[in-house]
Amino acid sequence: MIRTVGFIGLGNMGAPMASHVVRAGFTTVVADLDPAKVAALVADGAVAAIDTAAAAHDADVVLTSLPGPAQVRAVGEQIVPAMRHGATWIDLSTNDLACAHHLADVAARHGIDLLDAPVTGGIEGARAGTLNVLVGGDVDVHRRCQPVLRAIGDRFDLIGPYGAGYTAKISQVMLCYLNSVCLTEALLLGVKGGVAPDAMLDVIRNSTGRSYVADRYGPEILAGTYDASFDLTLAAKDLRLALELAEDVGATLDFTARVSELYRDAEARFGPMAPHLIAMREIEEANDLVLHEHERTTAYPERPEPQRTEHERMAP
């Protein structure tokens, strides 16, 4: 039976997930580089650890939610030797397969079970506890850890062996960025052809071009806010991981390579902490049209907000 859970990484996604683990009744020991984030979770009922190794020491299950492969590798090499034999490490981060395979070897030497379990559904899903958890690993380990997975998501199916979760996450989040570019180009084409921005987005959201990206990010692009909930550097990292995965498996992703270059250029121009959709400014300025500076509406009435299905709640 799982009684104690370590949770390492209390960022925009990690903090709400850790809160759900606390509320599910597990003794939750938390660690983060930011003491204020640890204090906030302690106020929610968690126990503070002095460092990452301490968070893992007595845990039946350790969850990590970290920015990328470098952090996953560094934290993994700290926590695995500290974990007790037979405990399980579930990594919720977006990671690459080279790091995953290295840490699998480290874990095997210490008798630690592993699940890779990156999540989709965005900050909204993390706060609501409705994430889609993409789990890769052993069937029995997955079954044993379902009470913890259930605390953070409403879908946590095993989709393949260890590493399958990382692969699925990278593949689907890549599509999100590609869709953002396609949405921006469609908006620009319509507006340059004489359609008001709000009207063009309304058409897209009520036609075959409709998508989560159009529903969630279209208004952010038109407002010029570009979605500050997710940093540009993380988006650029995700696209880099997609191209690295493509090289590993022998896939050719020409469009993704071009979009990755767009995001890299935007990061160099606007900085790593800029909102991820600021990359769309590159496309807007190439067309001499910044959408949020254009007259947004016409005299025509807007249609009602489209109703979203369960599957359309999913986000990176």
Burial class (CB in 10 A: 0-12, 13-18, 19+), 79: buried
| d(C-alpha 33, C-alpha 60), whole Å | 22
User: One-letter amino acid identity for 311?
Assistant: H
Q: Are 186 and 204 within 8 A, CB to CB?
A: yes
Phi then psi for residue 294, to 5 deg, are -90, 150
Give the contacts of 79 (CB within 8 A, at least 6 positions apart).
6, 8, 52, 53, 55, 56, 62, 64, 89
- Please indicate whether residue 169 is annotated as part of the active site: yes
Among 37, 169, 192, 237, the one annotated catalytic: 169
The dihedral formed by the CA atoms of 16, 96, 100 and 314, expressed in degrees to the nearest 10? 40
Map residue 28 onto helix, strand or coil: strand
Active-site residue set: 169
